[in-house]
C-alpha cells in the first residue's frame, strides 16, 4: 500500500515517514508541506536524516493524493478540510488525527466520506482508543454520584486546550451516561465557583516541558476514587495507529470511521 504524508516535515510528519519506511505492509508514496515551507523540493530522505529516497516534498497536496493509495494527515483543521476535499475528489483513503476540528468541519468530513473512506480520530493510539471504550463503560456503570474529572498534560508548544483526546474522553463519558457533553462540560474554574453540580464533567489542562501526552479520567465517589490513565512516551504509537488505520481502510465501504471501528471496539 502506498501511503503519503501531509505536513511531512513536522514532528508527527517525520515520525510517520520513519514508521512507514520500516513497515513491511506499505511503502512511502511521498509527502507535502505548506507552500511557504522551506522544505519544498527537498528530498524526503534528507529531511529525516537518511539516504536520498528520490521523493521530493511537494507544495501541492493533490499531487500527493494522486500517487498514494492512502494519505495520513496530522496538520491543522483548515488544512485537514482541504485534504478531505481532495480525498473525495481522488477517491483515496484519508486518515486524520488532526485535533481542534469544529462541528461544522466534522460535518464536512462526513460529507466527503460519502465518496471515499475517511478515518478520523482525535488520537490514533491503540491504548487511548481502548481507554475511550473503558471510560464509556465505567460511566455507564457508575451513577452520577461519581464525579467525573478529566486531567490532561502536554508539551509547552501544544496550541489547543483541552486536548482533542481529553474532549474525546469527555464525549465517551457523556455517551456512557446518555447525556450531552455540551450540557455537562466544565472547562475552567476560578474564584468562588460554588458547590460542584451533580453530573458535571470537568476538564483540567496542564502544559509544560516535552510531555507527549498524559490523560487521566477520575471517577470520584464517596469513599473511593477510580482513575483510568494513559501516558504516551513516544509519538510512534500515534504513527503506528494511523498506519494501521490506513491499511484497514483498504476495501472498506465509503464512510467516516473512527479508530474504534478500526479496532472493532464498538
Pair (114, 47) in one structural domain:
yes
Which pLDDT score is estimated for 110?
Answer: 98
Does residue 100 have a pLDDT over 90? no
Q: Which domain holds residue 222?
A: 126-232
Pair (132, 164) in one structural domain:
yes
The whole-angstrom separation of Cα 88 and Cα 109 is: 9
Contacts of 248-251 with C-beta under 8 Å, sequence gap 24+, read: 248/119, 249/70, 249/93, 249/95, 249/117, 249/119, 250/1, 250/69, 250/70, 250/93
Provide the CA 109 distance to its chain's centre, in angstroms. Answer: 14
pTM of the predicted model, to two decimals? 0.84
Pair (23, 74) in one structural domain:
yes
Q: Are 151 and 228 in contact (CB under 8 A)?
A: no
Dihedral, CA of residue 189, residue 224, residue 144 and residue 124, to nearest 10: 70
pLDDT, tens digit (0-9, with 9 covering 90-100), for 140-197: 999 999 999 999 999 999 988 999 899 999 999 999 999 999 999 999 999 999 999 9
pLDDT, tens digit (0-9, with 9 covering 90-100), for 31-65: 999 999 999 999 999 999 999 999 999 999 999 99
The whole-angstrom separation of Cα 131 and Cα 73 is: 23
- We report the CATH number of the domain holding residue 136 as 3.30.360.10
The whole-angstrom separation of Cα 128 and Cα 135 is: 10
Angle, helices 236-248/11-21, rounded to nearest 10 degrees? 60
Pair (131, 210) in one structural domain:
yes
Pair (180, 112) in one structural domain:
no
The whole-angstrom separation of Cα 32 and Cα 68 is: 12
For the chain, the average pLDDT equals 96
Q: To the nearest whole percent, how much of the chain has pLDDT over 90?
A: 95
Pair (184, 83) in one structural domain:
no
Pair (131, 73) in one structural domain:
no
pLDDT, tens digit (0-9, with 9 covering 90-100), for 67-92: 999 999 999 999 999 999 999 999 99
Q: How would you classify the pairing of strands 147-154 and 201-207?
A: parallel
Pair (69, 165) in one structural domain:
no
Pair (105, 12) in one structural domain:
yes
Look at the chain and report how many structural domains it folds into.
2
Q: Which of 14, 85, 92, 154 is catalytic?
A: 154
Which pLDDT score is estimated for 99?
Answer: 86
Q: Which of 2, 110, 115, 158 is catalytic?
A: 158
Pair (52, 113) in one structural domain:
yes
Q: Partners of 119 in the beta sheet?
A: 95, 257
The mean per-residue pLDDT over the stretch 126-136 comes to 95
Pair (7, 95) in one structural domain:
yes
83 an active-site residue? no
158 an active-site residue? yes
- We report the CATH number of the domain holding residue 14 as 3.40.50.720
3-state class (DSSP) for residue 139 = helix
Pair (110, 154) in one structural domain:
no
Helix (H) or strand (E) holding 185: strand 185-186
Which pLDDT score is estimated for 266?
Answer: 75
In the numeric block, which cell numbers belong to residue 73? 494527515
Q: Are 191 and 228 in contact (CB under 8 A)?
A: no
Q: Are 153 and 211 in contact (CB under 8 A)?
A: yes
Amino acid at each position: 500500500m502506498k501511503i503519503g504524508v501531509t505536513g511531512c516535515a513536522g514532528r508527527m510528519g517525520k515520525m510517520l515517514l520513519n514508521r512507514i519506511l520500516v513497515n513491511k505492509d506499505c511503502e512511502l508514496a511521498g509527502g507535502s508541506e505548506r507552500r511557504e515551507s522551506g522544505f519544498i523540493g527537498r528530498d524526503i530522505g534528507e529531511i529525516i536524516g537518511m539516504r536520498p529516497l528520490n521523493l521530493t516534498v511537494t507544495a501541492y497536496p493533490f499531487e500527493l493524493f494522486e500517487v498514494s493509495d492512502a494519505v495520513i494527515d496530522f496538520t491543522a483543521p483548515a488544512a485537514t478540510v482541504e485534504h478531505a476535499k481532495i480525498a473525495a475528489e481522488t477517491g483515496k483513503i484519508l486518515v486524520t488525527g488532526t485535533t481542534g476540528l469544529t462541528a461544522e468541519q466534522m460535518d464536512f468530513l462526513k460529507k466527503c466520506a460519502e465518496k471515499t473512506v475517511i478515518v478520523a480520530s482525535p488520537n490514533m493510539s491503540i491504548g487511548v482508543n481502548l481507554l475511550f471504550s473503558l471510560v464509556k463503560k465505567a460511566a455507564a456503570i457508575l451513577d452520577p454520584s461519581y464525579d467525573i474529572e478529566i486531567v490532561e498534560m502536554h508539551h509547552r508548544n501544544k496550541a489547543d486546550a483541552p486536548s482533542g483526546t481529553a474532549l474525546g474522553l469527555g464525549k465517551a463519558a457523556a455517551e456512557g451516561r446518555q447525556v450531552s457533553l455540551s450540557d455537562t462540560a466544565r472547562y475552567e474554574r476560578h474564584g468562588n465557583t460554588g458547590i460542584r453540580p451533580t453530573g458535571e464533567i470537568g476538564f483540567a489542562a496542564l502544559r509544560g516541558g516535552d510531555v507527549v501526552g498524559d490523560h487521566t479520567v477520575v471517577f470520584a465517589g464517596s469513599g473511593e476514587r477510580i482513575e483510568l490513565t494513559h501516558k504516551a512516551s513516544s509519538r510512534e504509537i500515534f504513527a503506528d495507529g494511523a498506519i494501521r488505520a490506513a491499511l484497514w481502510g483498504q476495501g472498506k465501504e465509503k464512510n467516516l470511521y473512527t479508530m474504534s471501528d478500526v479496532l472493532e471496539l464498538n
